[in-house]
Structure 1
Amino acid sequence: MINNMNKMQNKVAVVTGAGSGIGKATAIRFAAEGAKVSLIDRNEQTVRETEKEIKSAGGEAHSFTANIAMPEEISQAIKGTAEKWGSVDVLFANAGILGMISPIEYFSSEEWAHTITNNMVGTFETVKQVIPYMKEKGGSIVVTSSVSGNRQIAQAGFSAYSTSKAGIAVLAEMAALELAQYKIRVNTVCPGMIDTNIIDSQKESKYINEVKFPFDIPENGIPLTHGPGQPEEVANVVLFLASDEAAHVTGTKVFVDGAETLIKG
């Protein structure tokens, strides 16, 4: 059963990448706190499974199949959300991919653009689409960046992914200042190693072993847990940033990494 604690009561929340991982965990948590949750994912089967799980627990949700890299698709999903429930109060712009992992020398322009388009441009488009629905009474936007490109750079072949995630974090800061006049808060969550299936979206160049660093990086060096975090742990942080408890928090990056990036830079 949904254990409604009311932190999101009477709010309409949009979650992208809601079919799995951090997006799914956050959507479930939002519903448990009383939100009406619009679930967006490009995988129709998994996003419908999230919808079913929320409804089975007594929550309220509706799923949309859309790819954030396709402006018309994300526009229709946001519009459909507002038509169904009358408003959009919260956005968790979470969807993204790992994409190609490759030395810069061998990175094709197409593969580079694919990652940037899916992650950075897709997040931009999602944020852009919700603004008209939040301008009248304010709202909260949380975007998923990463430790990659912010605190963590020494990741072999991650130049496209890290660049996209750094761009997302800067976009959120720019948006926080620009949208403050409308009482729209914009914050960023930066997960470290989290137990999700995002690795399924990774492709690896045959030249990856050519990327070498002149120092040792611990494979599983996460001081707090000695292993990956859980999606629910990120969802708890997103809930706080999205809720009225964070009413004076905007333009902020929150790292959820168990101190991983204090030893892995």
Structure 2
Amino acid sequence: MKDPENKVAVITGAASGIGRGMAEAFAAVGMRVVLSDVEEPALYAAAAELRDGGADVHAVPADVSQAPDVAALAESALRKYGTVNVLCNNAGIHTGSRPSWESTLDDWAWILGVNLMGVVHGIRTFLPVMIEQGEDAHIVNTASIAGLLTGGSLYGVSKSAVIAYSETVHLELIGGGFKPRISVLCPGVVSTNIFNSHRNRPARFAEAGPFPTGWSEDAARQGFALGLSPRTIGEEVLQAIREERFYILTHPEYAGHIEHRMTQILHGENPTLLPMPGS
């Protein structure tokens, strides 16, 4: 998609963090943006701020883990703008790192419901519409560098699955001669509040496993504050859409870690961890 001006983008998890950064970057080049999030007060506040800056935006609350919510999001976007050219399956949560066997089934259901099934619901709902439109279109699935590295607990599992699914859809689109293209975003540390995901934990998933010994929300907040700005990530996503580039790797300092993992796989070696950048 060489010229995104006046195109319509739908972004989930758009009230803050990377989703908000995408919305700002898209609006700055004249795109019309449908913002969606499960956190309604933050969603409407973000939409109001973007409108005050001159953006053409539309806010639709949705829980991406629920297929009917995503269907309603698509209906609202099409009713408002008549088309959808870009879909960013960005909504995501983190349940904290702990020994995986101490995580509850509620932990698993919640994180896979949002991080993986949110992407599945988005693609199943929007991609047929994009194909039917017969125009240039693009999907961006937000994974994580955790999906390319060893470890990562439940979060890494969910993001590895997003990468694998995105690769599958890419091959299916190319092989089928369809116009839409797809990218997978794999950022490292970004200045977001994903560490505070429990603020939006549904009551139906009330049974939570223990946080790791020594975990501190204040320390997490300080660490994430040092990450890349969401707007920077949004600009990189916009460039990848223009280039129809599949992998969006925003943190080159992790290249050696990806290579380390791939080398161990090819050599049949047992997994080991390298020190994280900056540690």
With normalisation by structure 2, the TM-score equals 0.78
Q: Look up the SS of the partner of 1:186 in the other structure.
A: strand
- 1:105 CA drift (Å): 2.4
- The alignment status of 1:208 with 2:212, answered yes or no, reads yes
For residues 108-257 of structure 1, the aligned pairs below 5 Å read 108-135=104-131, 136-150=134-148, 152-154=149-151, 158-180=152-174, 181-201=177-197, 205-206=209-210, 208-209=212-213, 227-242=226-241, 245-247=242-244, 249=245, 252-257=246-251
Q: Deviations over 1:194-239 (max 9, x none)?
A: 11011101598447349xxxxxxxx9xx9xxx94111112111111
- 1:51 CA drift (Å): 1.2
- The alignment status of 1:32 with 2:31, answered yes or no, reads no
CA distance in 2, matches of 1:35, 1:208: 42
Letter in structure 2 aligned against 1:190: C
Q: Deviations over 1:127-154 (max 9, x none)?
A: 221112210223100110001121x324
CA distance in 1, matches of 2:144, 2:275: 14
Q: Deviations over 1:80-128 (max 9, x none)?
A: 1012111100011100100243202212222112211111011111122
Q: Deviations over 1:157-204 (max 9, x none)?
A: x42110100000111111111123221101111110111011101598
Q: Deviations over 1:15-38 (max 9, x none)?
A: 111100110111111011111100
Contact 1:176/1:184 (8 A) holds in 2: no
- 1:8 CA drift (Å): 2.1
Letter in structure 1 aligned against 2:137: G
CA distance in 1, matches of 2:112, 2:195: 17
Letter in structure 2 aligned against 1:48: Y
Q: Deviations over 1:65-85 (max 9, x none)?
A: 001001101111111101211
With normalisation by structure 1, the TM-score equals 0.82
CA distance in 2, matches of 1:49, 1:90: 22
Moved beyond 6 Å, runs of 4+: none
Q: Look up the SS of the partner of 1:153 in the other structure.
A: coil
**Among 61, 73, 84, which residue is 2:80 paired with?**
84
Letter in structure 2 aligned against 1:208: P
Contact 1:142/1:189 (8 A) holds in 2: yes
Contact 1:138/1:182 (8 A) holds in 2: no
CA distance in 1, matches of 2:188, 2:115: 16
Contact 2:96/2:195 (8 A) holds in 1: no
CA distance in 2, matches of 1:175, 1:149: 17
CA distance in 2, matches of 1:234, 1:153: 23
CA distance in 2, matches of 1:108, 1:56: 43
Partner of 2:205: none
- In terms of mean alpha carbon deviation, does 34-43 or 45-54 score higher? 45-54
Partner of 2:4: 8
Q: Which has the higher helix share?
A: 2
Contact 1:101/1:205 (8 A) holds in 2: no
CA distance in 2, matches of 1:206, 1:54: 38
Q: Percent identity?
A: 28
Contact 1:96/1:119 (8 A) holds in 2: yes
Name stretches of at least 5 consecutive residues in structure 1 with no aligned partner: 1-5, 211-218
Contact 1:90/1:141 (8 A) holds in 2: yes
CA distance in 2, matches of 1:200, 1:121: 20
